[in-house]
Chain A
């Protein structure tokens, strides 16, 4: 905006008067110049102190011997990384994290798009249905996990009992790795599918309707319209959701931590995730902040790598479509 300076009075011969005007004028100009920076500074200060600094300092901690209570020890180079990577538990945790992530993200995106397509119809009581699918969002992950760990209980669990009535043998949800991953992924899907469906719904409503008109004239069926118009137009939204799901999903902690009362990820660590492993190293028996920091950095690099990979893949896909780019570039 333009700089608006206070109206300039005709300069009086007295010495005191112009000095006061000059001062308030300068103050006004400083106000205009500095205020914008002042107003955005809380975010940058807080991010520097609680986001960026800890992340960078993690690298420093990771190359040192460092105890939860004892504090900083000797410089050990990459020893912590070597120790961690050689642990079979680390690889188990990595496998579990990816397995849970895939089981929760892929079905979730597909289901969310389907629900959004249904919500996009000319429904009665629109708001009711939209609120309905959002309901699980207000249940804390910890509470979701407590509910589902009982639903998925190996003995006297409701899901096994229902399976029993149709003649399926009880599944060992808390013993079998894949089954436990499925149960944990179900919790994530329960909480986030409706939320993502609403995001997709908004994107669907932003699709220009004349595209559909043209398709109808060309004789496209509704299914064909969905796959040839809706899905391609949703691409930017899909990218957005996949990226946020990746960042959040690979750090998953709450649901697997609460899947049983011990919180260690099972007797063979069959559902222990990387973040749970990080917690176990730092705050468990070892109390080794050095190793925990090493795990944090490895996970950080993995997330960045997958983020870039995501970006590269979707860039290539979306350049073939006629989609506008999301977010970037409009200013």
Chain B
């Protein structure tokens, strides 16, 4: 549980060279670097990971007739990409409202998860109170509860509150997650020294000011990763928005479903929808993919 920091040091810190040299000598056999077979394997893996996305771009830049006649698309995109995207934007699926809804839902969910998880993580990691241990175990245990199966009553509750079809119905259930609380607890346990908290307290900070001025700044790297993962999760979420929002006030995945149901014969249009709805996350990936990788690997060692 305390192994994450040594792990990071191993790849980036002072002992990295020694560790790497040792590893090279062992897993690399006689060669210092792995041979071309390794790179070939990785190249194939990368192609498998990337081709379906490229395939969507290829189809989105084509037209329905060409797609029907050529099951195997050409290697390079054709010229209709922007035309097809334009058709998606004006199609009868409320693309713009869906995009705005997705941005609102994902952003608010990510912000809220970060704030509440950091608050709870600060409390679990650094404050002493009765029941702390059992409560934390409870939080972890809830991760194994398939809450998606409670959708029937959740839907009943949302319709009683007159929230069906409204974004609040999607945002509220995701406002704080067990994973987030656990993640921030783990991080703050190591990243936030008691001395800092005590110094703030001696200076007369209330608890909430201590949180705001000491814990939150210390939590920033982990909070950014948590925000990323929550954003991606929220952006790609389909089941619950599909049920509670419906086609009247969709998020992007719901709009995509609508696009498929309405225009299922025109794959250039459907794939253009796939492309535009995926672009924002690909941008996130280009900017912050490194953080996603680090986040998954850190979480793995801790979890």
Contact = CB atoms under 8 A, between A and B. Distances in A.
Please indicate whether A and B come from the same complex rather than being unrelated chains: yes
Interface of A: 1-2, 4, 6, 28, 31-33, 35-37, 39-40, 42-44, 46-47, 49-55, 57-58, 60-61, 115, 118-124, 127, 129-144, 146-148, 150-151, 153, 156-158, 160-162, 190, 194-195, 198-203, 205-206, 209, 212-213, 216, 222, 237, 240, 243, 247, 250-251, 253-254, 257-258, 260-263, 275, 278-279, 282-283, 289, 292-293, 296-297, 299-300, 303, 307, 326-327, 330-331
Given A55-B147, A61-B156, A122-B24, 6 more contacts: A54-B151, A57-B153, A122-B33, A134-B285, A198-B293, A237-B300
A131 B293 contact: yes
Number of contact residues on B: which range applies? 35 or more
Given A161-B71, A203-B300, A118 B38 contact: yes
B149 A296 contact: yes
A169 B11 CA distance: 49
Contacts of B281: 138-140
A157 B273 CA distance: 19
Given A133-B45, A139-B278, A143-B277, A222 B27 contact: yes
8 contacts: A31-B207, A39-B119, A43-B120, A44-B135, A121-B28, A138-B285, A139-B52, A303-B146
A122 B149 contact: no
B71 A156 contact: yes
Contact of B157 (A1, A54, A151, A254): A54
Contact of A147 (B52, B144, B149): B52
A51 B72 contact: no
Given A31-B206, A205-B11, A212 B34 contact: no
Interface in B129-161: 129, 132-133, 135-136, 139-140, 142, 144-157
Contact of B123 (A35, A237, A283): A35
- Most chain-B Cβ atoms within 10 A of its Cβ — which of A46, A257, A300? A46
What 7 A-B pairs have minimum CB-CB distances, sorted nearest first? A54-B150, A161-B71, A261-B264, A140-B236, A202-B297, A35-B207, A39-B123
A279 B239 CA distance: 10
Contact of A160 (B10, B71, B152, B239): B71
- Interface residues of B, dominant DSSP: helix
B153 A132 contact: no
Nearest to B27: A121
A161 B72 contact: yes
A194 B261 CA distance: 30
B97 interface: no
A248 B248 CA distance: 28
Interface in B244-303: 252-253, 256-257, 260-261, 264, 267, 270-271, 273-274, 277-278, 281-282, 284-285, 289-290, 292-293, 296-301, 303
Nearest to A329: B1
Nearest to A237: B300
B172 interface: yes
A330 B175 contact: no
Nearest to B135: A40
B144 A243 contact: yes
A310 to B, nearest CB: 10
Given A1-B197, A122-B34, A140-B278, A198 B300 contact: yes
Contacts of A47: 142, 178
Given A54-B150, A156-B67, A151 B55 contact: yes
A280 to B, nearest CB: 12
Given A42-B120, A135-B49, A53 B256 contact: no
B46 interface: yes
A283 B243 contact: yes
B27 A263 contact: no
Contacts of B116: 42-43
- Most chain-A Cβ atoms within 10 A of its Cβ — which of B2, B41, B235, B285? B285
Given A118-B38, A132-B49, A1 B127 contact: yes
A203 B4 CA distance: 10
Contacts of A156: 67-69, 71
